[in-house]
Amino acid sequence: MPIIQSRRDLLRHLACGFGSVALHTLLSEEAHGASIASDPLAPRPSHHTPKARRVIFLFMHGGVSHVDSFDPKPRLAQMHGKPLPIAKPQFEFGGTGNLLASPWKFKKYGQSGIEVSDLFPHIGSMIDEICVIRSMNGGNEVSHGPALLRLNTGDGVFNRPSLGAWTLYGLGTENRDLPGFISLSPSLYHGGAQNYGSAFLPASFQGTRVGDGNTQFGKGGLANTTPAEGNDLQRLQLDLLASANREHLARSGADARLEARIATFELAFRMQASAPRLFDLADESTQTHRLYGIGEEPTEEYGRQCLQARRLIEAGVRFVQVNHSYPRNYWDAHGDLKNNHTTNAKKVDKPIAGLLKDLRQRGLLDDTLVVFGTEFGRTPAAQGTDGRDHHPHAFSMWAAGGGIRGGITHGATDDFGYYVAENKVTIPDFHATLLHLLGLDHTRLTFRHAGRDFRLTDVHGSVVKAILA
């Protein structure tokens, strides 16, 4: 056995075998505020009565074309192949040519009669539960990395805490045996871990990654949950580590960072008992598997992710991000738009509709906020012969469930889908609204760092009251 000469050596030695709990992350935590220092993940009261208790964020990586999905533009078909009769944006990712008609038809769904394209017939069947925001604006972030970071953290340039981390910081978690914020199959690219990180917030609030965009979300449950040395020996190791930490605390006084390390190690140990059962979907009924498209292709993988998200929020996880992400799944259709979007939509359409139906049947949709988002839209003009370029200036997202008015659209783009024409919704507006539904005032949810108070929305953002139930 190596000679232990310092507490740091002891931590490093005993951390071996703790799976995904990275020691360097634990050692880099910032100090907690006084109110959460001793128990950072404890449930905390909201600023006002919440409409939603939890969030499922369905993220479509690459840029879903709004004019081919949720924002019909008949004028595009009328002017197909002709030059755009209005000025193009100052900031573009690449060059575009003449206008390109959508290769899909739009159809009215539900009692609301909202039009959705043939790409998403299953989601269309649930449209009366959904509010489609057709006036999203992502600023001038025309490339994937900055656009993802702006959507997920509020800033496309600097390292900032993610939306899920802010949520956990504000509300805590409802299950001490699981992380409060989980990201399923996130991409390792375009910002990578920053998209679910905690930045300068205490590391207790960072997201826990399960899988990644490079590998299939598997059928084998959760890996690396059985310690090689056995639970009893690992329990003794944890107790020894906790004893050393407590002795240090007794000598040096309160240390919020050390308290967080202790809590995180304990959470990792408890997860070894709770997580394997939670990630085993075999105990779900055949009917439920079929609802999500599990057991068939191409819906198997995303169906598993969506069902896993339901099980996680049901178990008390506060924020779950369900990623359809690069490089295995990617909506970035610079060419071959029809094949790209058809392939991706077939993978996610049925699982997403199944998730909404399942949540509704179980009475969970009323207090679960479900968001369908993408980093930007795509240009109404063609790139090459059959593609579309990045387009942050106008795009669509939608929300359903906790506190959302279903069966409506909000905002509008111009006749071509190039610019927002009515009721622009910026990323800070979107963030402010989501936090509001969770019972958090975005102007009061602050953290002191580097001499000033930071917040998710910075100095921007207004709650979009028109979409609230």
Measured from the Cβ of residue 223, the count of other Cβ atoms closer than 10 Å reads: 13
**What pLDDT digit, counting tens, does each position of 6-22 carry?**
555 555 554 444 443 33
Q: Ramachandran region of residue 186, left (φ > 0), alpha (ψ -120 to 50) or beta?
A: beta
Domains of the chain in sequence order: 1-30+225-278 (no CATH), 46-221+285-467 (3.40.720.10)
Q: Do β-strands 54-60 and 368-374 pair in parallel, antiparallel, or remain unpaired?
A: parallel
C-beta separation of 31 from 256 below 8 A: yes
Give strand pairing partners of 404. 468
C-beta separation of 71 from 413 below 8 A: yes
Distance separating alpha carbons of residues 415 and 104, to the nearest angstrom: 17
Tokens 């128990």 sit at which residue?
A: 39
Extract long-range pairs of 80-88: CB within 8 Å, 24+ residues apart.
84/380, 84/381, 84/416, 84/418, 86/414, 86/416, 86/418, 86/419, 88/381, 88/418
For the chain, which ranges sit under pLDDT 50? 1, 14-34
**What pLDDT digit, counting tens, does each position of 396-455 carry?**
999 999 999 999 999 999 999 999 999 999 999 999 999 999 999 999 999 999 999 999
pLDDT of residue 28: 34
pLDDT of residue 256: 57
- Those residues with Cβ within 8 angstroms of residue 360's Cβ, 6 or more apart along the chain or in another chain: 129
**What pLDDT digit, counting tens, does each position of 49-69 carry?**
999 999 999 999 999 999 999
pLDDT of residue 35: 55
* Angle of helix 7-14 versus helix 231-252 axis, rounded to 10: 160
The whole model's pTM is what?
Answer: 0.87
Extract long-range pairs of 75-82: CB within 8 Å, 24+ residues apart.
75/415, 75/416, 76/100, 76/101, 76/102, 76/380, 76/416, 76/417, 77/101, 77/102, 79/416
Q: What residue type is 148 in one-letter code? A: L
pLDDT of residue 234: 62
**What pLDDT digit, counting tens, does each position of 141-152 carry?**
999 999 999 999
Distance separating alpha carbons of residues 431 and 23, to the nearest angstrom: 31
- Those residues with Cβ within 8 angstroms of residue 16's Cβ, 6 or more apart along the chain or in another chain: none
- Token representation of residue 462: 């207004």
Phi/psi at 426 (5° precision):
-85, 170
